Amino acid sequence: MNSSKIKTMKTIYLFSIASHPKARHINPLKITLLKPEIDFTQYDNIIITSQQATKALKQYNAEEYLDKSALCISQKSAAAFRKIGGEVLAIGDGYGDNLTGLIREYPKKKKWLYLRAAKIASDFVVQCREEGYRIDEAVVYKSECSEKLKNIQVSKEAILIFTSPSSIECFLHHNQIEPTHKVIVIGESSAKSLPTSIKPIISKEKSIEACMNLALEII
């Protein structure tokens, strides 16, 4: 009887808040929503760079903020804001650093409120302020590394997908990326958080679906 080799399918590990049916999902972060005191009447527009910011907004009276249009970082953050009844002003390409160009399209007299995490990767606000734009910041959520990462065992031939710099940092607290791993990241900011010895595949589109398509091509 002739024998044939059966190709072993590599496991895809998705380190993200959101899951995907074709990946083993591991949420690397514990999100805590915060509720600082905010006088929304001071602002013309809101800047939202994550779905968690919209979740934090829901802690406030909707009448206080739903008359403020939002500049959203991506299609998913825009969809989350629309879902709670908000109007989207403009949508970015998924990268915080590129929001500066969108903000420049509006008069400097407008006052923006950036709803952000305690720790952020982009410094677009600093650049905009230097150019004379008025942007205040409110920390509405914080993230910590999940205890789940202590107990995971990642197979040597796995494909690892990371969707943020913090997901990489948290993974590396308790684990290491092996030379045999294939690594896919959702953008340049995440790529910069990897050890210099790791050469990742960088998704051109900042979405989990795009990362999964890359993983399925090399599985």
Can you give the pTM of this predicted structure?
0.81
Same domain, 18 and 49: no
pLDDT above 90 for 1: no
Mean pLDDT of the chain: 92
SS (H, E, C) the chain: CCCCCCCCCCCEEEECCCCCCCCEEECCEEEEECCCCCCHHHCCEEEECCHHHHHHHCCCCHHHHCCCEEEECCHHHHHHHHHCCCCEEEECCCCHHHHHHHHCCCCCCCEEEEEEECCCCCCHHHHHHHCCCEEEEEEEEEEEECHHHHCCCCCCCCEEEECCHHHHHHHHHHCCCCCCCEEEECCHHHHHCCCCCCCCEECCCCCHHHHHHHHHHHC
Number of domains in the chain: 2
pLDDT above 80 for 10: yes
Domain that holds residue 87: 32-144
- Point out the domain boundary residue: 115, 144, 173: 144
* % residues pLDDT > 70 (the chain): 96
Asked if residue 123 belongs to a domain, the reply is yes
Same domain, 129 and 176: no
Same domain, 43 and 133: yes
Query: Which residue would you say has higher pLDDT here, 177 or 205?
Result: 177
Structure confidence by residue, pLDDT tens digits, 69-110: 999 999 989 999 999 999 999 999 887 888 999 999 999 999
- Point out the domain boundary residue: 144, 175, 197: 144
pLDDT above 80 for 5: no
Asked if residue 5 belongs to a domain, the reply is no
pLDDT band, very low/low/confident/very high, at 37 (cuts 50, 70, 90): very high
Asked if residue 80 belongs to a domain, the reply is yes
CATH number at residue 126: 3.40.50.10090
Q: What pLDDT was estimated at residue 123? A: 86
Structure confidence by residue, pLDDT tens digits, 43-75: 999 999 999 999 999 999 999 999 999 999 999
Same domain, 70 and 17: no
Same domain, 137 and 65: yes
Same domain, 161 and 102: no
pLDDT above 80 for 159: yes
pLDDT above 70 for 178: yes
